[in-house]
Structure 1
Amino acid sequence: MILKSVTESFATIIHGLNVQHLTDQVIHRSKRMILDTLGVGLLGTNTEVFHKTMQYSKIYSSDVSSCVWGHPDLRLPPTYAAFVNGVAVHSMDFDDTWHPATHPSGPVLPALLALSEVLPQNPRISGLDLLLAFNVGIEVQGRLMHFSKEARDIPKRFHPPKVVGTLGSAAAAAKFLGLDQTKCREAMAIAVSYAGAPMANAATQTKPLHIGNAARHGLEAAFLALLGLQGNQEILDIESGFGAFYSNYVPQALPALESYSLLLDQQNIATKRFPAHLGTHWVADATASVRKYLLPTDRIKRIVLRIPDVKYVNRPFPVSEHEARHSFQFIACTVLLDGGISVHSFHKSQVSRPQIRELLAKVELEHPPNNHPNFDTLYCEVSVTLENGSTFTERCDTFYGHWRKPLNQEDLEEKFRTNSSTVLPSEAVEGIIKTVNRLEDIEDCSLLTTFLKQPCLSKKTSRGS
């Protein structure tokens, strides 16, 4: 028996996975991911970074086009529609998160929906086809992340969605396009040369471009593979290939199709309740528990956060919405002051409030040696000391929305309604919910884009969100 290379095993899985691999649990979880991603993407079309990238992408208008979510009068080539819709998904850091750490849906869904509009409609692309390609894209990302110990912790060098997300987008698009096994392998090789973005751009307007570019570049990689472009046949096997992104990369060939089980069947997804870095959600829940003990007249002397050492989320005095979304300190102070976090919490007027700045000056961070920067194991302990000497301490090990404690369906749908109703009329909002909830039975997945192209509500560009 000839052993396959790691790269060849990925091509086999991408080409060979079929609807029989989609268990009821995988279908249920992936539909929740799709609904949530559409919601945060629609909300994200209100943001400044989305409007900037949309203006840029307009110069690439062509006859072969796909829709921009919530903008019925604007169509772009599929790669650029995937780009701007991907930017919208991550524009507020409101999209789903997996373990090892990445945002899995954002690079994949915009690429597939853009592609679905330009493929021949005979035969029609069903909802089950969409679910299968989506899960291929999620699976490739998860498998790649498991090849590195470094990838299991909160990233320090490269932003994972632009590394594994680009390959996930390429794999999903390759599945949608029906590429043969050889061209699936080429799509992976091409995608690796598109992958990678530095963590230095976290907490800036550039970070959402990582998701947008992953969607766009993965789609481009699949198109180029379709046209016969070739790359290194062992791109996933070697240190100078995909291994260049991780210092301890140990790839392994994937299991045989006959016994294959999708990772999404084993590992659920974290869904965010407010738009900020996932690590801040532990802080929010722990701080909310402490706040129950405090009176409006209490004077706070000291706030201690016992959290992992994650430098790019350690921002003592954030000055922009993007910095505030990546600030342990800001989240704790906002919960203490307001009782919770919402989209509005990150508006410029809220970030610069004197009351917030006063509280921020009282925050101290501690990094217990047993509190590792890992989304599966980290915890947050918050201690608030009052001027009268009283100290109150609470700890959060698993916040509501984490994969161990997922949002219930009612709360997930309510999040979608709140987000998407900023852009779409109510009939389109409810139509998307109904369509996604029965996606495996839909004969034509273009029904989704029909709702996404509904006449948008009168909206103002939110310069601070």
Structure 2
Amino acid sequence: MTLDKNITDALAAYIIDSQQKEFDSEVVHKFKRALMDYVCAAITGSNMPVPNSLLEYLKQIDSSEISSVTGKSMKLSPLNAALVNGTSAHSLDFDDGHTHGSIHIGTVVFPAIFAVAEQYSSSQEEFIKAAIIGYEIAGRLSAALHPNVWKRGYHNTPVIGIFGATAAVCVLLKANKEQILDALGHAGSFSGGLFEFLGEGADIKRIHPGKAARDAILSAELALKGITGPKKVFEGKNGFVRAFADNNINLERLYLGLHTEYEISKIYFKPYPCCRHLHGPIDGTLELLTLNQIDVNNIDRIEVGTYKVGANHKHKEVNHLLDAQMSIPCAVALALVYGEVSINTFEDSKVQSEQVQNLINKVDVTADERCEESYPKHRPAIITITMKDGTEYRQYVEDPKGESNYPLTDKELEAKFVNNCLGILTKDEVDQVLNAIWTFENLENLDVFYINSSLQTK
């Protein structure tokens, strides 16, 4: 196909133009919701094994003490703080996402701008604009390129997320258009992340957002130092679209509603700490339990139909937390046995219980034609439970709870924050952070979000 010859220039121009406008209160409210969900994910994930191991390594080589590490009483360089915080926020698979682009944006954009904003004492107004613009670039690019990047074995979150975070950092650094073009060019060379973690329980998946956040800062800083990058990184003969998507991009989606619609309004928030492809099957299963008297011990088989991308998450061998969080059979079995899916539900003792393991082996996941036709506009799933006596229960889910058209309310989002952060933070600290989020534009500074410097974590 013939590519638009001006993709990179058009996006750079958008980044410049958007800094001059005032975003309306509705868009700023969406920013606050995204911020709350990110901070929740970063705090709850900060004590998980992968970010802790990463931090132990970085402490040995980094004594710069510039940018805060969420949940820890210490600071690192902006690059390394972004790396750790992005990893923490993705360590429980509790972070926000964007269905059209199959990408986690918040865990790439927010770690990068928090680290840079602390270094340069950025204003609240600059921070808000940086976040909204970062979501815009990552959301539009990923939606225009999905599922083409995924089909080639790449993970959209680090591969495309880096461009959103780079744009956001450029806003904070007050980069001009030429520097933005260079920064996006650098991001194209730093872009990377394979989907090979799926089904292996490989820890590297947790690090993907942090890696992209770190490299986004580096991409922007190098550009401001005068190091040049390719000015047509997306559309060039050997550019990103060719290398990562085999020259397949939906240009109509890329530019649709530019300047009038905002991708930060299209993200979802997770009620369950696991891969988003599992949420439709979970919702359907829990709905069946609510509507019917189902004896899980008398289930003969369970069939889950969903779209092709989601159907890849059908593995039944679950030996690690990540395996469980990426497996539809495991999620459905846990929902049936425990009647809920929470952080505690994914404890290894529960996953490995005889009852759960027996049910996992009864779940078959297939690609359903009806569901495939709806994706990625929707994330549908069809759950059919057949009992040993032949009784059949079926539930169709068009979109799981948390999508922009079926959102978590502000109170539900607050409840997610409180339920998961309380115990890591005190009640007063939780209230302090929530108040700061809802009054963000009126804060004197951002210190409350640098958890280690103003709050004492438990």
CA distance in 2, matches of 1:249, 1:183: 27
Per the alignment, in what secondary structure is the counterpart of residue 94 of structure 1? coil
Per the alignment, in what secondary structure is the counterpart of residue 35 of structure 2? helix
Q: Is the 8 A contact 1:431 1:451 kept in 2?
A: no
Aligned pairs for 1:250-399 (under 5 A) are 250=249, 260-264=259-263, 267-292=265-290, 293-296=292-295, 299-310=298-309, 312-372=312-372, 374-399=375-400
Q: Is the 8 A contact 1:150 1:248 kept in 2?
A: no
Per the alignment, in what secondary structure is the counterpart of residue 117 of structure 1? helix
Q: Is the 8 A contact 2:185 2:233 kept in 1?
A: yes
Matched, 1:240 2:241: no
Q: Is the 8 A contact 1:107 1:165 kept in 2?
A: yes
2:174 pairs, out of 178, 195, 209, with 178
CA distance in 2, matches of 1:147, 1:379: 20
Cα distance change of structure 1 residues 149 and 424 upon mapping to structure 2, 3 Å threshold = closer
> 446-455 or 47-56, which moves further after superposition?
446-455
Q: How far apart are residue 370 of structure 1 and its match?
A: 2.3
CA distance in 1, matches of 2:164, 2:245: 17
Report the counterpart of residue 191 of structure 1 in structure 2: 187
Per the alignment, in what secondary structure is the counterpart of residue 455 of structure 1? coil
Report the counterpart of residue 31 of structure 2 in structure 1: 30
Q: Is the 8 A contact 1:379 1:397 kept in 2?
A: yes
Report the counterpart of residue 138 of structure 1 in structure 2: 135
Q: How far apart are residue 25 of structure 1 and its match?
A: 2.0
Report the counterpart of residue 161 of structure 1 in structure 2: 157
Cα distance change of structure 1 residues 64 and 178 upon mapping to structure 2, 3 Å threshold = farther
Residue identity opposite 1:129 in structure 2? E
CA distance in 1, matches of 2:62, 2:144: 39
Aligned pairs for 1:75-90 (under 5 A) are 75-90=75-90
Report the counterpart of residue 416 of structure 1 in structure 2: 417
Matched, 1:45 2:46: yes
CA distance in 2, matches of 1:300, 1:275: 26
Residue identity opposite 2:401 in structure 1? Y
CA distance in 2, matches of 1:101, 1:235: 22
Cα distance change of structure 1 residues 438 and 364 upon mapping to structure 2, 3 Å threshold = same
CA distance in 1, matches of 2:381, 2:189: 38
**TM, length-normalised to structure 1:** 0.90
Q: How far apart are residue 156 of structure 1 and its match?
A: 5.7
Residue identity opposite 1:448 in structure 2? F
Spell out, residue by residue over 1:52-79, the C-alpha distance to the aligned partner (whole angstroms, 9 max, x if none). 111122133233511111112x211010
Q: How far apart are residue 144 of structure 1 and its match?
A: 1.5
Spell out, residue by residue over 1:242-286, the C-alpha distance to the aligned partner (whole angstroms, 9 max, x if none). 1111124347598799x8224237x42110001111111100111
CA distance in 1, matches of 2:256, 2:341: 45
Spell out, residue by residue over 1:184-228, the C-alpha distance to the aligned partner (whole angstroms, 9 max, x if none). 111100011110211112342110111010110001111111111
Spell out, residue by residue over 1:287-319, the C-alpha distance to the aligned partner (whole angstroms, 9 max, x if none). 112223134485111111122233541112312
Aligned pairs for 1:2-21 (under 5 A) are 5-18=6-19, 20-21=21-22
CA distance in 2, matches of 1:413, 1:67: 24
Per the alignment, in what secondary structure is the counterpart of residue 333 of structure 2? helix
Q: Is the 8 A contact 1:31 1:437 kept in 2?
A: yes
**TM, length-normalised to structure 2:** 0.91
Matched, 1:428 2:434: no
Residue identity opposite 1:303 in structure 2? I
Residue identity opposite 1:126 in structure 2? S
CA distance in 2, matches of 1:52, 1:175: 32
1:225 pairs, out of 223, 226, 230, with 223
Cα distance change of structure 1 residues 6 and 296 upon mapping to structure 2, 3 Å threshold = closer
Q: Is the 8 A contact 2:187 2:215 kept in 1?
A: yes
Note the residue ranges of structure 1 that are not aligned, 5 or more in a row: 458-465
Per the alignment, in what secondary structure is the counterpart of residue 283 of structure 1? helix
CA distance in 1, matches of 2:19, 2:54: 35
Matched, 1:148 2:149: no
May I ask how many residue pairs the two structures share in their alignment? 447
Cα distance change of structure 1 residues 300 and 154 upon mapping to structure 2, 3 Å threshold = farther
Residue identity opposite 1:301 in structure 2? D
Q: Is the 8 A contact 2:316 2:330 kept in 1?
A: yes
CA distance in 1, matches of 2:300, 2:422: 41
Cα distance change of structure 1 residues 224 and 64 upon mapping to structure 2, 3 Å threshold = farther
> 306-315 or 412-421, which moves further after superposition?
306-315
Report the counterpart of residue 126 of structure 1 in structure 2: 123
Q: How far apart are residue 154 of structure 1 and its match?
A: 6.5
Per the alignment, in what secondary structure is the counterpart of residue 393 of structure 1? strand
Q: Is the 8 A contact 2:286 2:339 kept in 1?
A: yes
Bigger fraction of residues in helix: 2
CA distance in 2, matches of 1:355, 1:452: 46
Spell out, residue by residue over 1:33-91, the C-alpha distance to the aligned partner (whole angstroms, 9 max, x if none). 1100100110001211111111122133233511111112x211010000000000111
